[in-house]
Amino acid sequence: MGDTPPTDLRKTPLFDRHVALGGRMVDFAGYALPVQYAGIVAEHRHTREAASLFDVSHMGQLVFSGPDHATTVGWLEKVVPADLASLAPGEMRYTVLLNDKGGIEDDLIVTRPAEGYAEDGVMFAVVNGARKAHDLRYLQRVFEGELRAEMRPDLALIALQGPKAAGVLADLTDATDDLGFMQSAPATLGGIETYLSRSGYTGEDGFEISLENADAVALFDLLIAHPAVEPAGLGARDSLRLEAGLCLYGHDMTEETDPVSASLLFSMGRERRKTGGFAGFEAIGKALSEGPATRRVGIRFQGRQPVREGAELLDESGQTVGHVTSGGFAPTLEAPIAMGYVRADLASPGQAISAAVRGKIIPGQVVRTPFVPNTYVRKTSK
């Protein structure tokens, strides 16, 4: 019933803070990280109503350096289907890392550094903690020594998420004034140099703050001292991202799933979907033109019983038509929600889909995601 105490795990620079705040530490991607402090539901609600601080330093921060933007993007676009060429300085884009079969090796956010922050030809990426070593090896093979790719284990990453996040940062910097969703800029916060992105994994407005490991505790202390800010753990991070309809790598997509089946069309550039020129385009182009066999959908269930990962999904006649890849109880909706894959002809909103849990049939229906509307603050690039 209890969690196994983590042993031999890597620690982020904020480990001592998590323990001091009563965080219940678990193994996540090989790191000791808090699953919760006060409780998952309380932290979830606080994020939706105020602002929460998450330590996401386990994530991989990568830097690519080439001679100019076009060359760097040329290499990256061999294995990611997004249109990176058109990124203006400071802009960020969500995309996927593809293999030759069109399967997803990881999902990531690629950033073109803000004007003057780095030389032309430098790009940043944030990848999943559990995949970072794999991704770096894969990319280095793809780049054939022509584009430099390095991991930045010297950097920490702190996410401040929620409707009050912008106000909290506005007390410390004016750098957020012009920053919209998926835009980034350097900012000095209480004397600490950081690189700020208006992005996150909760569906709320919020920021991810990259900074030197050595400064992480000081910034954490500065932000947590604000009366609107509470710490939040991995449990709330998971329930928040599920309500936001955001995928979790290794669950909602894997090396075997392509971005069309995964309902991640937006991870691919509009033109590039037609012209290709990236790994796996043969399979992906086919899925685009003929339609995929299965599709990722959101499902909302009746009653209160959670439907979790692995549960079978059934059509109205009781036939198995798919399975759940992420699921749980949504604190905001006070209802069970899930994401899963179903036969593509059953993927339209309104379609009745039930789940089998411990021999019981739980009725539900396909719904649009996000389950809870997101509150991103969009601004046009300058």
Partner 1 sequence: MTLRYSQDHEYVRLEGAVGTIGISRYAQEQLGDVVFVELPQVGASVTRGDEVAVVESVKAASEIYAPVSGTIVEVNDKLADEPGLINTDPVAAGWIFKIEVADTGEFESLMDEAAYADHTA
Question: Considering the complex, what minimum distance in angstroms separates the CB of residue 257 from partner 1?
Answer: 25
Question: Considering the complex, what minimum distance in angstroms separates the CB of residue 242 from partner 1?
Answer: 10
When binding is defined by CB under 8 A, the residue of 289, 350, 358, 373 that contacts partner 1 is: 358
Whole-number Å distance between alpha carbons of 382 and 372 = 30
For 190-344, where are the E strands, in sequence order?
192-197, 206-212, 229-231, 294-301, 312-314, 320-330, 335-343
When binding is defined by CB under 8 A, the residue of 12, 36, 128, 199 that contacts partner 1 is: 36
Question: Considering the complex, what minimum distance in angstroms separates the CB of residue 231 from partner 1?
Answer: 16
Residue 211 identity = L
Q: Establish if 369 lies at the interface with partner 1 (CB under 8 A).
A: no
Question: Considering the complex, what minimum distance in angstroms separates the CB of residue 161 from partner 1?
Answer: 18
Site string for partner 1, 210-249 (x = CB under 8 A): -------------------------x---x----------
Q: Which is nearer to partner 1, 13 or 331 (CB)?
A: 331
Q: Give yes or no for a contact between 102 and 280, defined as CB atoms under 8 angstroms apart.
A: yes
Both tokens assigned to 248: 């979790």
Q: Which is nearer to partner 1, 259 or 327 (CB)?
A: 327
Q: Establish if 270 lies at the interface with partner 1 (CB under 8 A).
A: no
Q: Give yes or no for a contact between 13 and 213, defined as CB atoms under 8 angstroms apart.
A: yes
Number of residues that bind partner 1 (CB under 8 A): 20
CB under 8 Å to 168, separation ≥6 — which residues?
Answer: 51, 160, 223, 226, 228, 229
Start-end of H helices in 113-188: 132-143, 165-170
Q: Establish if 306 lies at the interface with partner 1 (CB under 8 A).
A: yes
First to last CA, the chain: 52
Both tokens assigned to 78: 């061999």
Strand partners, 92: 111
Site string for partner 1, 313-332 (x = CB under 8 A): ---------------xx-x-
Instruction: Point out which span in 1-9, 92-100, 209-217, 268-276 binds partner 1 (CB under 8 A).
Output: 1-9
Residues 44-73 that bind partner 1 (CB under 8 A): 44
When binding is defined by CB under 8 A, the residue of 9, 19, 29, 41 that contacts partner 1 is: 41
Backbone angles phi, psi at 368, to 5 degrees: -70, 150
Residue 157's nearest CA partner among 215, 242, 244 is 215
Question: Considering the complex, what minimum distance in angstroms separates the CB of residue 2 from partner 1?
Answer: 5
Strand partners, 63: 124, 150
Whole-number Å distance between alpha carbons of 243 and 368 = 11
Residue 248 identity = L
Q: Which is nearer to partner 1, 42 or 142 (CB)?
A: 42
Tally Cβ neighbours within 10 Å of residue 192. 17
Q: Establish if 1 lies at the interface with partner 1 (CB under 8 A).
A: yes
Q: Which is nearer to partner 1, 223 or 357 (CB)?
A: 357
User: Which residues are near partner 1 by CB under 8 A?
Assistant: 1-3, 35-36, 39-42, 44, 235, 239, 304-306, 308, 328-329, 331, 358
